[in-house]
Structure 1
Amino acid sequence: MFNGLVTYLDSIKSRDPAPRTRWEVLLYPGVLALGLHRVAHWLFRGELYFLARLVNHLSRFLTAIDIHPGARIGENFFIDHGFTVIGETAVIGNNVTIYQNVTLGGTNPANGIAGKRHPTILDGAIIGSGAQVLGPITVGERARIGANAVVTRDVPMGATMTGIPARPTLVDATDYQKSFVPYGTPCSERFDPATQQLEMLKCEVEQLRNKLAQLIKEREQGDKGRERA
């Protein structure tokens, strides 16, 4: 058990340069939230739902991280900073990293979809700060979700997704081959999360241009039709 704890702390230290010792990691809110979730999940599986919720509320009060007791989480899961929401039917694999203000959200229960409502995040995936991963979709192994991206469709293995809605983004081979990329995107001018708002605005401008061209084409076709009449 002790060796397992040391391995877990070392896995976090390898992804976060801030702590000087592994024991500092024990004070991280994400570590406390995961530990309490293990207790809540054990109670949930034993159908002690009230006690599971009680532990869940205690964890949320202490850490500002809300993990539903029903969520299934693998080994070496790291929530950096916190303010994260993980839904009931979410499934998270091994060595997954999530940054602050991420939501693994579900579909609208009023739409008639029962059972699996939340995402499945496979091994080694990285989800950047502010990202929203919604619905019963699958994020593939070693996929990277950029900051503030909104993901509503399956993500292929190893893909880097950015934007609203999230779309695959080509990355340099040297960045792709890295075992870990902070915040899910390469730290270059093109992919820096701070510039993503500009990229989103460019995308919106392009969409408006396409709509304008379509309207002009429809109007020209209408004018020609009237001339023939």
Structure 2
Amino acid sequence: VQTSRPCGRWVVGVFQGRLIRSGALLCSGVHIGADSIIGHNTIIRARANIGTKSVISHLVCLERDANIGNNVRISALTHITGNCFVGDNVQIGARVVTINDNEMRWRAGEILRAPKVLSGARIGSGVTLLGHVTIGENAFIGAGSVVTRNIPEGTLAYGNPAYVQGDRPMGEWLAGASRQLYQSKEEI
């Protein structure tokens, strides 16, 4: 679905394989990939891009020019700031906040630097990502963390401020996905 009209409420329904729940607000230039779901009362600002097979839960706000990859899950009450990049196969927990400016001010004219969450990363519930940080591929951020610096790929980080605590726990991450995969194969 590609929108070309000003912001407005959409009626619940399925549009070309995309499910848009009641109360969702989509602004102009929004692109939603095939087989994606937009939750109740979610706001998607101008020119945001959502890849295929992604789930944006209820009461989420995607600001202008946010770029969300394929197979992404963003849980309820999360705020994705303008120009934020979220790679493929990322999971973002509930009440996550991303910030594209580290100072308390109103648009001083500079280009703001939003966080980047690279492919395969997992962000726990209640995390705050400050502007300019990059979360590396397959990194894991523990719930309630405040991320003030880049987190390398394949690591586990948590705390306030978040520090790398070790390598991500591979077995635990894949357990749920594997179980789901095997269930699907058994049903065939």
1:194-213 correspondence to structure 2 within 5 Å? none
Where in structure 1 are there 5+ consecutive unaligned residues? 2-25, 45-57, 183-229
RMSD in angstroms over aligned alpha carbons?
3.4
**Structure 2 unpaired stretches of 5+:** 2-13, 32-40, 45-56, 177-188
Aligned partners of 1:100 and 1:130 also within 8 Å: yes
**In structure 1, how many angstroms separate the alpha carbons of the residues matched to 2:142 and 2:130?**
15
Choose from 29, 42, 45 the match for 2:29. Answer: 42
Distance apart, 1:178 and its partner CA: 4.8
- Cα offset for 1:113? 7.8
Q: Which residue matches 1:189?
A: none
CA contact (8 A) 1:41 1:70 kept: no
Deviation for aligned residue 1:59: 2.6
Go from structure 1 to structure 2 and tell me whether the alpha carbon gap of 1:113 and 1:139 turns closer, same or farther (over 3 Å shift): farther
For 1:151 and 1:145, locate their aligned partners in 2 and report how far apart those are by CA, in whole Å: 8
Q: Match of 1:147?
A: 143
Tell me how far 1:40 sits from its aligned partner: 3.9
Contact 1:41 1:71 in 2 (8 A): no
After superposition, the Cα gap between the structure-2 partners of 1:106 and 1:179, relative to the gap in structure 1 and judged at 3 Å, is same
Deviation string 1:145-165 (CA, Å, 9 cap, x unpaired) is 000000010110011111100
- After TM superposition, give the deviation of residue 109 of structure 1 in Å: 6.5
The match for 2:70 among 68, 75, 91 is 75
- Answer yes or no: is the 8 Å Cα contact 2:155–2:167 preserved in 1: no
The structure having more radius of gyration, on CA atoms, is 1
Question: What code does the residue aligned with 1:60 have?
Answer: I
Matched, 1:59 2:46: no
Evaluate the alpha carbon distance shift between residue 158 and residue 40 of structure 1 in structure 2; reply closer, same or farther with a 3 A threshold.
farther
Determine what percentage of the aligned residue pairs are the same residue.
29
**Residue aligning to 1:135:** 131
Q: 1:41 & 1:137 partners in 2: Cα distance?
A: 28
2:62/2:81 contact within 8 Å kept: yes
Structure 1 or 2: more strand by fraction: 2
Structure 1 residue 179 displacement after superposition: 4.5
- Residue 35 of structure 2: aligned partner: none
Partner of 2:152: 156
1:69 to partner: Cα distance? 2.9
Query: SS at 1:154's partner residue?
Result: coil
Letter in 1 for 2:43: R
Question: CA deviation digits over 1:47-68, x for unaligned, max 9?
Answer: xxxxxxxxxxx63399311111
Would you say how many aligned residue pairs link Structure 1 and Structure 2?
A: 136
Q: State the TM-score, normalized to the length of structure 1.
A: 0.50
Give me the whole-angstrom Cα distance separating, in 1, the residues matched to 2:156 and 2:175.
Answer: 11
Which protein has the bigger helix share? 1
Q: Is 1:103 aligned with 2:97?
A: yes
Question: Contact 1:133 / 1:150 at 8 angstroms: preserved in 2?
Answer: yes
Amino acid aligned to 1:167:
Y
SS in 1 for 2:129: strand
